[in-house]
Structure 1
Amino acid sequence: MANTNHGATHQAASTEPLKFLSKEEAKALEEELYEEYKFGQQQLIEISGHSCAMAIAKAFPRSSLSKKQPTILVICGQEQNGAIGLVCARHLRMFNYEPTIYYPKRSCKPIFLDFTVQCEKMDIPFLSYLPAEVQLINDAYNLIIDAVLGLSDEAGLKELYTNILTTMKHVKIPIISIDVPSGWDVEKGNSDGISPEVLVSLAAPKKCAMQFSGKFHFLAGRYLPDDLQKKYELNPPDYPGTDCIVQL
């Protein structure tokens, strides 16, 4: 009888709507992971980057890519989202894709420097500049990974990456955005930003994801403790098998 009741409770919980977090809620959840649950920043970046690589491999298997070489351009910002992009590139290299990184404003934080060295040691090339001619990007790469801004949607940061965002708006190849598409407001969504084909939400989808209309939306939050999921009423769907991502 106890097992039946437990199943019924789980069934009822899974029918609750998926929670879309505000910017404040997302930052508070992350803070609790650090302070209360003793997750480290490097640990969370590693988990997130690996999950993003898994999502990309699921959405775009190497056999489905249009070009002979499985080339991917990873554009990284200087905040945490950029570090997640570096880790994602490293895992994609392990999955036999051919990532190239554009990382114009490098962070001086030791953790981020370590991730950069890891990519360099794996012979992942770094671009010194982003071609202004969009067609060159379309011709050279199958996909672009947008790891530029994420939750860091402050106007000052957006200005730093204006040229990159303009270029990404005009490319014809698919864009995969990590957590929050660059140029989007975390809560209000897309006023004049890019239009990614894939969105990988980290921990829980943000409110802007309600406006996402691309082909694939993945959630990467299987590492969240149950107590924290209940506190924030996240109501995530069941993850298939042992997967660290689930398609929404």
Structure 2
Amino acid sequence: MAAFRTLGPKAAAALDEELMSTGAFSIDQLMELAGLAVSQAMYTLSPPTKSPNILVACGPGNNGGDGLVAARHLYHLGYKPTMYYPKQGKNELYGRLRTQLEQLKIPFTNDFPAAVGKSNWIIDAVFGFSFSGEVREPFPAVIEALKTSVIPVLAVDAPSSWNIDEGPPQEGPGKWYDPAALISLTAPKPLAKWFEGRHFVGGRFVSQEVADKYGFDVPTYKGCDQIAEVGSHDEKL
């Protein structure tokens, strides 16, 4: 993997705070940009003509919100998303995002294994870079299913249950979980050192000045792309 500067947990949290204060971004805007990038990464991996059925697994936090936004964009790109969203967060934003999907008649399911069997790809938007501690119900079985499924997985910002600094866990349901693709939001996190699949960065809204302040690299985005693929041996951010 090409060398690049990553964004650690404290810096990532501080960056989000600055973006929403002096940067004047709202959480809605940041989530919309993230979800748009996720949907474009999915399209790059496999367009709807090839893989129409996408299962989007969402957690209760902002990572899950990114997944909800991504599903809306995927629908308008021609996919047929199905949502697994067993534990909705308390922020009213999540309720609004869910309502938008329900208005599009996008189905929600409580039977994750059955939905996996009907899917061409899975988007893992369960836990993001801020995850720590034990995986709580109902997500251990979900991560176990992601690990053992033959259906390819695109992880949002972090493979769920991975430690942001130390990568894949040494025990628990996430041990040996290795998704096919990863989209790092704003900048890659240190866990990317352990990731060997296709790797994208989405964050085409951060200035070079901000990137320099927080010590990460901005990739070269092409044309109107919201994502940049990174990670090949001859490629450098």
Using structure 1 for the length normalisation, give the TM-score: 0.86
Are the counterparts in 2 of residues 175 and 197 from structure 1 also a CA contact under 8 Å? yes
- Where structure 1 has 5 or more consecutive residues not aligned to the other structure, the ranges are 1-15
Matched-pair identity in %: 35
Match of 1:213 among 175, 193, 196: 196
| Structure 1 outlier segments of 4+, above 3 Å | 136-139
Q: Which has the greater radius of gyration?
A: 1
1:40 corresponds to: 26
Letter in 2 for 1:140: K
Deviation at 1:234, TM superposition (A): 1.7
1:201 corresponds to: 184
Are the counterparts in 2 of residues 104 and 129 from structure 1 also a CA contact under 8 Å? no
Match of 2:158 among 174, 180, 184: 180
> Hey, what's the Cα distance between the residues in 1 that align with 2:95 and 2:13?
23
Q: How does 1:130-141 map to 2 (within 5 A)?
A: 130-131=112-113, 136-141=114-119
1:30 aligned to 2:16? Answer: yes
Deviation at 1:212, TM superposition (A): 0.6
SS of the aligned residue for 1:145 comes to strand
> Hey, what's the Cα distance between the residues in 1 that align with 2:94 and 2:45?
27
Deviations 1:54-91 (A, max 9, x none): 110011122333xxxx1110000000000100000010
User: How many equivalent residue pairs?
Assistant: 223
1:95 corresponds to: 77
> Hey, what's the Cα distance between the residues in 2 that align with 1:100 and 1:137?
8
> Hey, what's the Cα distance between the residues in 1 that align with 2:50 and 2:180?
15
Letter in 2 for 1:159: R
Distance 1:208 1:55, change over 3 A: same
Match of 1:149 among 127, 133, 148: 127
> Hey, what's the Cα distance between the residues in 1 that align with 2:148 and 2:104?
30
Deviation at 1:36, TM superposition (A): 1.4
Structure ranking higher on relative contact order (CA contacts 8 Å, 6+ apart): 2
Are the counterparts in 2 of residues 184 and 193 from structure 1 also a CA contact under 8 Å? no
Match of 2:58 among 76, 83, 89: 76
Are the counterparts in 2 of residues 76 and 83 from structure 1 also a CA contact under 8 Å? yes
1:112 aligned to 2:94? Answer: yes
Are the counterparts in 2 of residues 52 and 88 from structure 1 also a CA contact under 8 Å? yes
> Hey, what's the Cα distance between the residues in 1 that align with 2:78 and 2:17?
35
> Hey, what's the Cα distance between the residues in 2 that align with 1:118 and 1:77?
17
Are the counterparts in 2 of residues 181 and 193 from structure 1 also a CA contact under 8 Å? no
SS of the aligned residue for 2:28 comes to helix
Distance 1:72 1:217, change over 3 A: same
SS of the aligned residue for 2:124 comes to strand
Deviations 1:183-203 (A, max 9, x none): 100110012152111100000
